[in-house]
Chains A and B, each alone.
Chain A
Amino acid sequence: MMILSVRDLRVRAGEHLILDGVTLDVDAGAVCAIMGPNGSGKSTLTGVLAGRPGLEVISGTATYLGRDLLAMPAEERARQGLFLAFQYPVEIPGVNNVYLLKASLNALRKHRGEPELDAFEFLNLVRAKIRQMQMDESLLNRGVNEGFSGGEKKRNEILQMSLLEPTLALLDETDSGLDIDALKVVADGVNALRSPNRAIVMVTHYQRLLDYVVPDQVHVLAGGRIVRSGGRELALELERRGYDWLRFGPTAA
């Protein structure tokens, strides 16, 4: 089953053309990595799929579970099971982390026609998840990401993801700024979500994360296009040779 199908997507941010014809298919069960140099459009791709404001789609389509993704408002995409783990999770002082988790989970459950969890069920669930992410329980009662370290913010994203159990998870540079222990915890969290009904798209600059979350496919984004696709070995080759050789090399693997 196809979860996401992007066709010739061209996207502008202000004056700048960032995505210049991206085509990408993601099947159910797949874990796919999108790699690329800085400025290649990786975050714009996840952003436009999640509905980030300030990005203008010039042409192309994105189909999610057979529906026009780009026509849905951001909250609708989230309720339909699309999850974006932010590269820079925003701090929201005054909005309690655990209440956001609960409101978010219940918004999704309501959308799926499931009953909302009561406070007891919810807390049991969230406590189990927070142990899995090896996070301090006190972070639950802080403002969303408020005063969290870089690593705590990233773990909090994965905590949310594992709670919301998305159909399509987009991980935007989730590995950046993580030490090796945190990287393993985050990778375990992602691996735990691997499932035949779900797809995971990881955007990353380095191949380091891919040692722990082994992708089925690797795509290289450069200059706003997918310039190369392959298996895991492509990531290793990129690690060895850098990105420069692709700019001058053939555009097909």
Chain B
Amino acid sequence: MSAETVMQRIAASHAGQTAQLAGGAAWARRRELALARVLGHGLPDRRNENWKYLDHAKIAERAFDPAPRVTLTADRLAPCLLPLAAAPRLVLVDGHFEPLLSDADAGAGVAVQDLATLLSTDPACAMRLLREPGDDADDRYALLADAFAAGGVVIRVDASAAPPEPLYMLHVSSGSLPGTSHARVVIEVGAGAKLRLVEHFVALGDAPAFSNLAAEMQIAAGATVEHIRLHQAGTQSAQLETWFVEQQADSSYSQHFFALGGRLLRSNLNLSLAGSRAQCRLAGLFMVDGERQADLYTQIAHHGAATRTSQNFRGIASERGRGAFNGRIIVHPAARGADASQSSRNLLLTPLAEINARPQLEIHTDDVKCRHGATIGTLDPAQLFYLLARGLDPAVAQSLLTFAFCEDVITGVPLPELRRTIEELVVGRLPDRDVIRSFR
């Protein structure tokens, strides 16, 4: 399908929806401008260095018409839920915040607003809150989300608040019919606050839906955020996400990222360590089997002095699965005393699987400590032989070593029930899972 056709379909879809979108004239103008920029630049493709591994055709073949609105009942969600019974839940279905499926009380010091409501009642406020995406190719899908901006959620955490329970944000793709949904998420974490956020992506149906998330998080001085992100959508869904995170002085952000589902996932994280001594720790794992693809792109910019990054990503590909890790760390001249380490380790389990890893450091000051490394390989034959020499079945030994390869990324998950669930999901993807379970 040619690029023109995709653009024509996006334009047609936009023309069909625009009358129903809330926000008045100012928002109509903003959306028109965003659309014009998307149509003018086109979506990123393989010619864009940061997008060269993505199977763009898998997105282009999807319908760009909106996913039809469905009404879900809580019992449809029950089988998908993570064991976070006490955690206040926020549910987005095909990009729309669903108050009836969500908890009204999101915890002490946490305010939640439906973006669709805000667009109607206070479009100027929505205008201020939602970041306007730039012209960079990496921001193009966020721009597309801006052109269709309608639904989503705004979360504000008061200064010094420390809700006892994590916030559970569930992104549901109804997946009963093909369609595209755009969601916006805005999170503001006040100074000194402590937030734990679990973001969970599921698909209920097997229609080839396309979900496009544009999200941003502002972390004020001294705040701490633990962000657990679990992609668990079915075998047909395509997910694109563009996250912007900005950290002020002495703030701390840790992310635990798991890409364990979906036909295609492209995840962009653009993180700015703006304030002095801000630090981020990013751990991640993708597992791609069958025909799945996971393509992770992270860009971390050190602006403040003595800022720190620690990034540890693992990838496992089997069958015809394809994975990519493209991690860029930029240390700007003002970031004296910055410390950045980046590690990407990848495992190919079958000959047709494919992984590309590109760690990139860009350093503009002398006073830094930076390390990075990337490996792509197969299981260690010496470890394998050791296990066989102890009588273990070869398939079991392989599964054990595969699990061991990603174990430290899993053990880093701060919530024990969730850690066990993720562990179980990873084990469930391995051959001889029952034997591996007996090892836990």
Contact = CB atoms under 8 A, between A and B. Distances in A.
B279 to A, nearest CB: 25
A44 interface: no
Contacts of B390: 78, 100, 103-104, 107, 160, 164
Identify which of A73, A75, A78, A143 gathers the most chain B CB atoms within 10 Å of its CB. Answer: A75
B121 interface: no
B408 A111 contact: no
Interface string A89-113: 1101111100110011001100100
B388 A75 contact: yes
Interface string B384-414: 0111111111101100110111111000000
A79 B389 CA distance: 9
A52 B385 contact: yes
B125 interface: no
Nearest to B382: A90
B392 A75 contact: yes
Given A74-B385, A86-B386, A90-B382, A95 B391 contact: no
B71 interface: no
A74 B385 CA distance: 8
A221 B393 CA distance: 33
Contacts of A186: none
A94 B439 contact: no
A249 interface: no
A53 interface: yes
A95 B381 contact: no
Identify which of A50, A107, A108 gathers the most chain B CB atoms within 10 Å of its CB. Answer: A107
Contacts of B438: 99, 103
Interface string B367-383: 00000000000001111
Given A92-B401, A94-B403, A95-B439, A78 B391 contact: yes
Contacts of B391: 75, 78-79, 104, 107-108, 111, 164
- Is the contact region of chain B dominated by helix, strand, or loop, or is it mixed? helix
A224 interface: no
A84 interface: yes
Contacts of B392: 75, 100, 103-104, 107
Contacts, number: 83
A54 B385 CA distance: 11
A95 B404 contact: yes
- Give chain B's interface residue range (CB within 8 Å of chain A): 20 to 34
A160 B387 CA distance: 12
Identify which of A53, A93, A94 gathers the most chain B CB atoms within 10 Å of its CB. Answer: A94
A71 B160 CA distance: 68
B36 to A, nearest CB: 51
- Give chain A's interface residue range (CB within 8 Å of chain B): 20 to 34
Nearest to B405: A94
A143 B407 CA distance: 11
Given A93-B408, A94-B403, A94-B404, A100 B388 contact: no
B389 A92 contact: no
Contact of B389 (A51, A111, A144): A51
A92 B439 contact: no
Nearest to B380: A90
Given A103-B392, A103-B438, A92 B404 contact: yes
Interface in B402-435: 403-408, 435
Nearest to A109: B391
A153 to B, nearest CB: 11
Contact of A95 (B393, B394, B401): B401
A51 B388 contact: yes
B439 A78 contact: no
A77 B389 CA distance: 8
B387 A100 contact: yes
B371 to A, nearest CB: 19
Contact of B385 (A53, A94, A104): A53
B357 to A, nearest CB: 20
A184 B391 CA distance: 28
Contact of A96 (B382, B383, B439): B439
Contacts of A86: 386, 389
A92 B393 contact: no
Given A53-B381, A75-B393, A103-B438, A93 B404 contact: yes
Nearest to A74: B388
Given A53-B381, A75-B394, A107-B393, A89 B408 contact: no
Interface in B208-244: none
Nearest to B396: A103
A78 B382 contact: no
A229 to B, nearest CB: 27
Contacts of B382: 90
Given A94-B407, A95-B404, A89 B388 contact: no
Interface in B54-85: none
A85 to B, nearest CB: 10
A222 B403 CA distance: 42
Nearest to B435: A103
Contacts of A94: 401, 403-408
A90 B383 contact: yes
Given A99-B439, A107-B393, A92 B386 contact: yes
Contacts of A50: 389
A103 B381 contact: no
Contacts of B404: 92-95, 143
Identify which of B385, B394, B405, B406 gathers the most chain A CB atoms within 10 Å of its CB. Answer: B385
Given A99-B439, A103-B438, A104-B390, 9 more contacts: A52-B385, A53-B385, A83-B389, A86-B389, A90-B380, A90-B383, A95-B400, A99-B438, A104-B391
26 contacts: A73-B388, A73-B394, A75-B393, A75-B394, A83-B389, A90-B380, A90-B383, A90-B386, A92-B383, A93-B407, A94-B401, A94-B403, A94-B405, A94-B408, A95-B401, A95-B404, A96-B439, A100-B392, A103-B390, A104-B390, A107-B390, A107-B391, A107-B393, A108-B391, A111-B391, A164-B391
Interface of A: 50-54, 73-75, 77-79, 83-84, 86, 89-90, 92-96, 99-100, 103-104, 107-108, 111, 143-144, 160, 164
Which 7 pairs across A and B sit closest by C-beta, in order of nearness? A94-B404, A94-B407, A78-B391, A107-B391, A104-B390, A74-B388, A99-B439
